[in-house]
């Protein structure tokens, strides 16, 4: 299904790689203004003039732009079985108009049918009767010029269905059907998925001709249950020659085969349903299963996000708001990460809750500031908005006050919000295999937190970055001066080779923890291939240390050399001796920093600089006992070195990234950003000065630079939902000027104003007196 657009995108990336390598060979930094222009960072601007749907009918003319390239604003009223008699279609039509949506997701079938299906097992909504609610909504949407995706929810069924096809349902270890409340869970390896659901897709596609399908829970049982049904037993044996694994055991080859077999099945379903949709609904009829964004979550559900994005024209995200462990910045990160897989010319609509998300209250309005910041961060990451209400009837009308202002703004400025390329010189590397096979059942702690710790440090220091899939290191290398490897424990040989190639050409790396100790299947390597590069003795890889999972221990960092005298409280400057490494900038008034995390045990190679060592845990309480038992050790927490290629290497065996995500200590943020800034050198293309926490995302499009500024200052100070955004300012914004660009105009697309511009040889500067919840600056040459 990978179409020509995807191939074009890939070709552009290859061109970019060549240009960047040329630039590097010429001794220039990767984000040279030359490569910026030559490398094809600047995409041809696809201007979509009409917000109206230009739907390509089944078998229609090839010249029409298909709906999935034009439908920018989305909405969904997610109805329930009690809704049909109360669905006020006239009211919702007005709401569609008020929020400017161009596409809607309408409940059609699956667990519950909202149309009179010919299939007697397709359970009709209890209050539907002989009505065709799906058809009525679709007809109204058509009249209003909207795209319609038929929403499916295919994963469980009622008891009558179970009795008709008991072999289609998942089985527990003791042979009982897997239940979810009063429903029965279907097995993804059964004919329910091969025959029954395709039949429904055909019925809906042929009868109603929706533009496509959105499927909610399409990927079957998650990793927590090994289904013992007859289909699983026979198909796994046919595929692997083995019986089903007796239990979850990541060290067992059979269990890993079962994981791979399950992944392959989900991808097979994706392809099958897209084939069916296109056969029955026409060339542009897509079936799109919902994806979440978190690699650990997707891994538990066997959804290979990279494989799915590579074969898709559009993906739909189900990441509706912040959860307790993440910030708004995760939505921008999600957009950038998935565009890195999908291509920046495609759309990623995301379901965004207008109701309270954390904890969930389906019927209560999310505070407007909370919902808006989530939407704004999505937009900053290239995501398309999709308001989501659960239920056709709402008593809390405040939830209808949130979307329209922002969607009107986004609709009016849509040409600046799509078809652009991020401008960044720092790449943050990730992979789902790392989450699965290194993270195993602790992926959130082992791989999720280190990644998010870096995201937060980067955003906190206003450093533009792009997420880079570990398989795409070579593809992205030319635009990057620094790769961050946050506890990337499981890496394939080719990923390791790409790291060496990057470093040979002068690219710098910042790695943490157990990066590279395992292969891509989570098998510990006989030798640690990155040891020498990271500046540690090439002994066997360090063994996986037990994690501190419950909270910080009372360990510290010792900063070398001493700059304060512990015996002299007045600390006269004359006693200061030695010079510290740049990575410790800002810590001149202390010899120690709090740590609290886990240390990977390594021994430095000769030539490695060790600016930080470990002070082991000692009692906190009672205070009489709280003294350092061992105030100095040789155990390295940070190692740095510079290579002949000019590459800089920082290796943090101490899990500062994970610790920062866990506890938010300011010193950990400073250490991480110091390491990033030291390793990235002078390549960072953006400086923003002024108060506050501001997520800065910079893009290039045609002959324009586009800068999103989202003010995250408020959520940084108070747990719970954001009720009010506090403006910050003044801000001075400096953007690196691409060579040959005479930028003399800067517009704010939020204030509708022109900003005064100052330029010098390399930079263009504007001043903002104040930043509300966001701004979008467009610098035009």
Residue ranges that bind Zn ion, judged by CB under 5 A: 187, 189, 227, 229, 231-232
> Is 607 in a helix, a strand, or coil?
coil
Neighbouring CB atoms inside 10 A of 236's CB total: 22
Find the shortest distance in angstroms from Cβ 112 to Zn ion: 23
Cβ neighbors of 461 (< 8 A, separation 6 or more) are 669, 673, 676, 677
Least Å distance, CB 65 to Zn ion, is 42
Q: What is the DSSP letter of 588?
A: T
| Helices of type H across 477-543 | 493-504, 531-534
Q: Considering beta carbons, is residue 189 or 301 the nearer one to Zn ion? A: 189
For the chain, how many helices (H) and strands (E)? 22, 32
Which residue, 200 or 227, is less far from Zn ion as judged by CB? Answer: 227
Specify the residue, 258 or 595, whose C-beta has the smaller distance to Zn ion: 258
* Cβ-based nearer residue to Zn ion, 244 or 371: 244
Q: State the helix-helix crossing angle for 89-99 and 133-143, rounded to 10 degrees.
A: 40
DSSP 629-672: SS-----EEEEEEE-TTS-EEEEE-B-HHHHHHHH--HHHHHHH
Between residues 228 and 767, which has the closer beta carbon with respect to Zn ion?
A: 228
If the CB atoms of residues 192 and 347 are measured against Zn ion, the closer one turns out to be 192
Nearer to Zn ion, 232 or 686 (CB): 232
How far the first Cα of the chain sits from its last, in Å, is 37
Helix (H, G, I), strand (E, B) or coil at 319: coil
* Residue whose CB is less far from Zn ion, 192 or 344: 192
Minimum distance between the CB of residue 457 and Zn ion, rounded to whole angstroms? 43
- Contact by Cβ (8 Å): 738, 33: yes
Collapsing DSSP to helix, strand or coil, 185 comes out as: strand
Identify whether the C-beta of residue 547 lies closer than 8 Å to the C-beta of residue 513. no
Output 243 or 582, the one with its CB closest to Zn ion: 243
- Name the residue nearer to Zn ion (CB basis): 244 or 688: 244
CB of 222 to Zn ion, least distance (A): 13
Q: To the nearest whole angstrom, how small is the minimum distance from the Cβ of residue 272 to Zn ion?
A: 17
CB of 260 to Zn ion, least distance (A): 16
Q: Minimum CB separation from Zn ion for residue 170, in Å?
A: 5
Are 427 and 420 a contacting pair, CB within 8 Å?
A: no
Q: Of 235 and 525, which has the nearer Cβ to Zn ion? A: 235
Minimum CB separation of residue 264 from Zn ion in Å reads: 15
Q: How far is the CB of 258 from Zn ion (least distance, A)?
A: 11
Q: What's the DSSP call for residue 436?
A: I
- Give the length of the chain: 781
Least CB distance to Zn ion at residue 732 (A):
60
Helix (H, G, I), strand (E, B) or coil at 618: coil
Q: In three state form, how does the secondary structure of 669-693 look? A: HHHHHHHHHHHHCCCCCEEEECCCC
Strands 482-485 and 508-512: parallel
CB of 696 to Zn ion, least distance (A): 48
Q: Give CA–CA dist 376/329, Å, rounded.
A: 10
Residue 229 Cβ, how far from Zn ion at the closest point, in Å?
Answer: 3
Q: How would you label 470-493 residue by residue, b for 16+ Cβ within 10 Å and e otherwise?
A: bbbbbbbbbbbbbbbbbbbbbbee
Reported for 679-683, long-range contacts at CB under 8 A and 24+ positions apart, including other chains, are 679/482, 679/508, 679/509, 679/510, 679/648, 679/649, 679/650, 680/425, 680/426, 680/463, 680/481, 680/482, 680/508, 681/29, 681/481, 681/508, 681/648, 682/29, 683/29, 683/30, 683/31, 683/425, 683/481, 683/482
Q: Please state the closest distance from residue 189 (CB atom) to Zn ion, in A.
A: 5
Packing angle between helix 656-663 and helix 449-460, nearest 10 degrees? 80
Give least dist CB 261 to Zn ion, A.
Answer: 11
Nearer to Zn ion, 232 or 639 (CB): 232
Residue carrying structure tokens 């390399």 = 762
- What sections of 398-520 are H helices per DSSP? 403-412, 432-433, 443, 449-460, 473-476, 493-504
Q: Which is nearer to Zn ion, 227 or 649 (CB)?
A: 227
Nearer to Zn ion, 213 or 258 (CB): 258
Closest contact distance (angstroms) between CB of 236 and Zn ion is: 9
Q: Between residues 140 and 229, which has the closer beta carbon with respect to Zn ion?
A: 229
Strand duo 355-357 + 360-365: pairing: antiparallel
Nearer to Zn ion by Cβ, of 137 and 187: the residue is 187
Tell me the C-alpha distance between 431 and 372, whole Å.
29
The token duo for 780 is 């035009």
In whole angstroms, give the CA distance from residue 587 to residue 130. 73
Tell me how far, at minimum, the Cβ of 265 lies from Zn ion, in Å. Answer: 10
Rama region for 736: left / alpha / beta (φ>0; ψ in -120 to 50; rest): beta
């Amino acid at each position: 299904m990978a179409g020509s657009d995807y191939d074009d995108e890939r070709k552009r990336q290859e061109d970019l790689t060549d240009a960047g390598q040329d630039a590097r060979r010429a001794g220039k930094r990767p984000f040279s203004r030359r490569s910026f222009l030559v490398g094809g960072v600047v995409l041809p601007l696809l201007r979509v003039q009409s917000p109206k749907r230009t739907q390509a009918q089944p078998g229609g003319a090839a010249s029409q732009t298909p709906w999935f390239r034009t439908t920018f604003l989305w909405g969904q009223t997610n109805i329930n079985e009690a809704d049909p008699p109360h669905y006020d279609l006239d009211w919702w039509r007005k709401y569609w108009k008020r929020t400017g949506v161009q596409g809607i997701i309408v409940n059609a079938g699956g667990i519950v049918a909202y149309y009179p299906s010919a299939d007697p097992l397709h359970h009709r909504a209890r209050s539907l009767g002989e009505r065709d609610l799906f058809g009525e909504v679709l007809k109204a949407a058509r009249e209003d010029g909207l795209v319609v995706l038929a929403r499916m929810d295919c994963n469980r069924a009622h008891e009558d269905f179970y009795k008709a096809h008991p072999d289609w349902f998942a089985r527990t270890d003791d042979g009982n059907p897997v239940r979810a409340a009063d429903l029965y869970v279907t097995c993804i390896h059964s004919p329910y998925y091969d025959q029954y659901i395709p039949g429904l897709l055909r019925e809906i596609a042929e009868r109603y001709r929706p533009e496509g399908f959105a499927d909610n829970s399409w990927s079957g049982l998650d990793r927590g249950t090994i289904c013992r049904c007859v289909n699983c037993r026979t198909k796994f044996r046919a595929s692997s020659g083995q019986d089903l694994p007796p239990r979850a055991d990541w060290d067992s080859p059979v269990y890993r085969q079962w994981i791979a077999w399950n992944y392959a099945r989900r991808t097979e379903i994706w392809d099958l349903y897209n084939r069916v949709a296109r056969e029955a609904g026409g060339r542009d009829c897509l079936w799109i299963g919902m994806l979440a964004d978190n690699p650990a979550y997707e891994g538990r559900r066997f959804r290979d996000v990279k494989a799915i994005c590579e074969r898709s024209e559009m993906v739909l995200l189900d990441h509706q708001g912040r959860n307790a462990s993440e910030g708004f910045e995760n939505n921008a990160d999600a957009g950038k990460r998935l565009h890195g897989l999908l291509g920046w010319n495609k759309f990623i609509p995301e379901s965004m809750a207008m109701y309270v998300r954390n904890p969930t209250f389906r019927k209560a309005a999310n505070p407007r500031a909370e919902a808006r910041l989530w939407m704004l961060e999505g937009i900053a990451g290239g995501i398309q908005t999709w308001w989501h209400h659960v239920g056709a009837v709402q008593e809390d009308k405040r939830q209808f006050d949130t979307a329209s202002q922002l969607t009107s703004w986004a609709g009016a400025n849509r040409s600046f919000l799509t078809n652009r390329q991020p401008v960044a010189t720092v790449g943050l590397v990730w992979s789902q295999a790392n989450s699965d096979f290194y993270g195993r059942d602790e992926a959130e702690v082992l791989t999720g937190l280190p990644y998010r710790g870096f995201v937060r440090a980067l955003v906190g220091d206003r450093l533009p970055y792009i997420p880079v899939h570990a398989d795409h290191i070579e593809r992205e290398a030319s635009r990057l001066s620094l790769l961050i490897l946050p506890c990337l424990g499981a890496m394939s040989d080719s990923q390791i080779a790409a790291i060496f190639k990057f470093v040979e050409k002068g690219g710098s790396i910042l790695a943490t923890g157990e990066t590279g100790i395992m292969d891509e299947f989570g098998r510990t390597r006989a030798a640690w291939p990155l040891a020498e590069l990271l500046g540690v003795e090439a002994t066997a890889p360090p063994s996986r240390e037990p994690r501190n999972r419950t909270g910080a221990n009372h360990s510290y960092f010792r900063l070398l050399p001493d700059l304060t005298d512990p015996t002299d409280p007045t600390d006269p400057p004359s006693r200061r001796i030695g010079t510290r490494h740049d990575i410790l900038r800002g810590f001149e008034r202390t010899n120690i920093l709090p740590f609290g995390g886990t240390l990977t045990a390594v021994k430095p190679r000769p030539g490695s600089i060790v600016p930080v060592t470990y002070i082991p845990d000692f009692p906190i309480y009672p205070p009489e006992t709280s003294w350092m038992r061992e105030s100095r050790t040789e155990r390295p927490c940070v190692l740095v070195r510079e290579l002949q290629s000019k590459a800089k290497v920082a290796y943090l065996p101490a899990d500062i990234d994970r610790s920062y995500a866990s506890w938010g200590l300011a010193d950990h943020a400073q250490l991480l950003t110091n390491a990033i800034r030291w390793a990235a050198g002078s390549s960072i293309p953006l400086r923003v000065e002024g108060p506050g926490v501001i997520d800065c995302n910079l893009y290039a499009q045609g002959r324009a630079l586009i800068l999103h500024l989202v003010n995250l200052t408020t959520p940084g100070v108070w747990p719970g939902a954001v009720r009010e955004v506090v403006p910050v300012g003044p801000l001075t914004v400096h953007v690196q000027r691409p060579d040959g660009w005479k930028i003399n105009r800067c517009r704010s697309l939020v204030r509708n104003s022109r900003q005064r511009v100052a330029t010098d040889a390399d930079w263009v500067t504007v001043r903002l007196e104040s930043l509300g919840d966001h701004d979008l600056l467009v610098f035009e040459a």
